Every structure is written in C-alpha cells, then in structure tokens.
C-alpha cells in the first residue's frame, strides 16, 4: 500500500514539474516576443523621425516659397517633444516642457503682434502645478510584480540609486546617473538628446538576458558593466559608435548573464566600461 502511494506521489510530482516547465517556456517565449516587438517599434519610430526631418529638409531646399518656420529650432523642439512623448508613452515631463517652449516661440514668430506678457506667467503656473501634482508612478513589468523606476533630467544632472528591476531614464541638455542595485535586473530604456546618461550595473545582478533599449542623439551613454558579463549589441549607429572598453579577465567565467543592447545612436557614442 505504501509503495502504491509513493508511486502516485511520484507521478503527481512529475506531472507538476512538467506543467511548471511548460509554463516557464511559455513565459520566456512571450517575454522574448514582446521584447522584439518593442525593439521594432522603437526602431520604426526613430527611422520615421529621421525620415520626416529629411523630407522637410528636401522640401525646404527645392521649394522656393517653403515656410522658414517649419525648419526652425522652435519646430525642432516641438518635434523632439513629440518624439520623446510617443517613445515613452508620454511619461515624464521632458516632452511637455519641450513642446511648450517650442510652441510659445513658434506662435510668437507666426503672430509677432500678439503680446506674450500674460502668457509666460500662465505657462510657469502650469509647469509648476505639473511638477507639484505629478504622481510618483510605478509600472508593472511582469507577473512577478517587478517595478520600473523613471527619471527625467532636463538642463540638470540627476544621480539616483535604483532598486527597481527596470530603469527608465531621459536626459535632455543635461546628465543623469543611475546606480542599479537590483538583484533581479530586467533591463532599461535610456534616452539621451544633447546630454549624457551613465548607468552603473556593477552592483546589479540577474539571470539570463537583460535588454537595454537606448536612443542617443548628439549625446553619450556610458554603461558600467562587470567584465564577466556577456554584452551583445543590436543597436543601429549613424555617425556614431559603440565601444567596449572593459578589461577582460584572463580566465573567462561562465555566468550565464547576457546584456543585450538595442536602439539607435545618431551622432553619439556608447562606452561600455568596468571598474
């Protein structure tokens, strides 16, 4: 009787183990598909943005009566703001500030007779209320309830210790430094435009593959990565470069950790270093 019970218990444990293995394979496959879709979406968005700039520049060069304000720096701020907002699902406040500043100066150029003496106080009030009332939001990354930390740096430098499993950082005309201490690191989304971002992963840990999705335009990104991690790049570089400056160990240690870099680098650089 005891042998029969032991046999049933063993079969039950084997069935449970097979179910767990199938569930794990499905979860890994789904996460990989979402990662590929997100990477393609960001690449398409960046490519469409560059294509739009090229088309506008060509129209300005070939059409004599083409409006000058379309290719002015005011319009550039608006375009950058929309690009950042769409790419980050309109999280953070950098895109809104760019959009407001560009719109104000563009409106002043189109309607020079309009008085802006009453507009600036209203804009400052709106921006101040936005900063005060902006909630500290956290987003779910997966079923394990990992969290995502977001930071914006606009004309400033931001240094932050992050325990979050997913890092979201935006740097525009400024610098941001993130020190990740999570032991279940999933990846990150980094945006640098005329600025710099430093991501320190020397104290982080993970198992399997972590994906860094980055966009660097006229800026730089520095990644501090342990020398025994495997780093692979699928990023598109246009007048830019990605350089691994780590000191490789004499004895290669198999850690099973792969850091995958995706995204777009335009007139910028990515430096990968280790202590």
The CA-CA-CA angle for residues 217, 222, 227, to 5°, reads 140
User: 240-257: per-residue pLDDT in tens?
Assistant: 888 888 876 544 555 678
Please state the rounded mean pLDDT for residues 123-139. 60
Q: Is the pLDDT confidence value at 103 over 80?
A: yes
pLDDT of residue 250: 43
Q: Is the pLDDT confidence value at 162 over 80?
A: no
Please state the rounded mean pLDDT for residues 74-93. 75
Kindly report the average pLDDT of the chain as a whole number. 73
- Alpha-helical runs (H) found in the chain: 2-62, 73-87, 94-110, 119-133
pLDDT of residue 5: 62
Q: Is the pLDDT confidence value at 92 over 70?
A: no
| Residue whose C-alpha is closest to residue 161's, from 186, 183, 178 | 178
Q: Is the pLDDT confidence value at 192 over 70?
A: yes
Please state the rounded mean pLDDT for residues 15-37. 55
At residue 95 the predicted structure's pLDDT band, cuts being 50, 70 and 90, is confident
Exposure on the CB side of residue 65, measured as CA atoms within 13 A? 0
Q: Is the pLDDT confidence value at 264 over 60?
A: yes
pLDDT of residue 143: 37
pLDDT of residue 139: 39
Please state the rounded mean pLDDT for residues 109-118. 71
User: 194-226: per-residue pLDDT in tens?
Assistant: 888 899 988 888 888 899 888 888 888 999 988
pTM, entire model:
0.52
User: 60-74: per-residue pLDDT in tens?
Assistant: 788 888 777 777 878
Residue with tokens 């004599």: 64
pLDDT of residue 118: 66
Contact (Cβ atoms closer than 8 angstroms) between residue 148 and residue 166: yes
Share of the chain above pLDDT 70, in %: 67
Please state the rounded mean pLDDT for residues 172-191. 86
Contact (Cβ atoms closer than 8 angstroms) between residue 167 and residue 180: yes
Q: Is the pLDDT confidence value at 31 over 70?
A: no
Rounded CA-CA distance 81/100 in Å is 9
Instruction: Name the DSSP class of 65.
Output: T
Q: Is the pLDDT confidence value at 90 over 60?
A: yes
Rounded CA-CA distance 269/275 in Å is 19
At residue 149 the predicted structure's pLDDT band, cuts being 50, 70 and 90, is very low
């Amino acid at each position: 009787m005891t042998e029969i019970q032991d046999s049933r218990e063993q079969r039950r444990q084997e069935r449970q183990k097979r179910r767990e293995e199938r569930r794990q394979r499905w979860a890994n496959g789904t996460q990989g598909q979402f990662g590929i879709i997100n990477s393609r979406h960001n690449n398409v968005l960046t490519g469409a943005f560059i294509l739009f700039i090229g088309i506008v520049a060509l129209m300005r060069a070939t059409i004599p009566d083409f409006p000058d304000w379309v290719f002015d720096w005011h319009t550039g701020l608006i375009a950058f703001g929309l690009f950042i907002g769409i790419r980050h699902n309109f999280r953070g406040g950098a895109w809104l500030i760019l959009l407001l500043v560009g719109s104000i100066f563009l409106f002043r150029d189109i309607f020079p007779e309009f008085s802006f003496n009453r507009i600036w106080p209203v804009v400052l009030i709106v921006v101040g209320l936005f900063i005060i009332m902006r909630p500290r939001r956290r987003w779910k990354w997966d079923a394990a309830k990992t969290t995502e930390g977001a930071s914006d740096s606009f004309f400033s430098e931001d240094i932050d210790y992050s325990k979050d499993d997913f890092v979201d950082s935006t740097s525009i005309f400024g610098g941001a430094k993130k020190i990740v201490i999570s032991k279940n690191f999933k990846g990150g989304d980094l945006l640098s435009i005329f600025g710099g971002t430093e991501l320190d992963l020397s104290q982080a840990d993970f198992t399997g593959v972590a994906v860094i999705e980055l966009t660097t335009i006229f800026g730089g990104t520095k990644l501090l990565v342990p020398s025994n991690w495997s780093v692979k790049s699928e990023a598109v570089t246009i007048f830019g470069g990605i350089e691994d400056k780590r000191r490789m160990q004499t004895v290669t240690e198999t850690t099973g950790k792969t850091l995958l870099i995706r995204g777009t680098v335009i007139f910028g650089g990515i430096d990968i270093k280790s202590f």
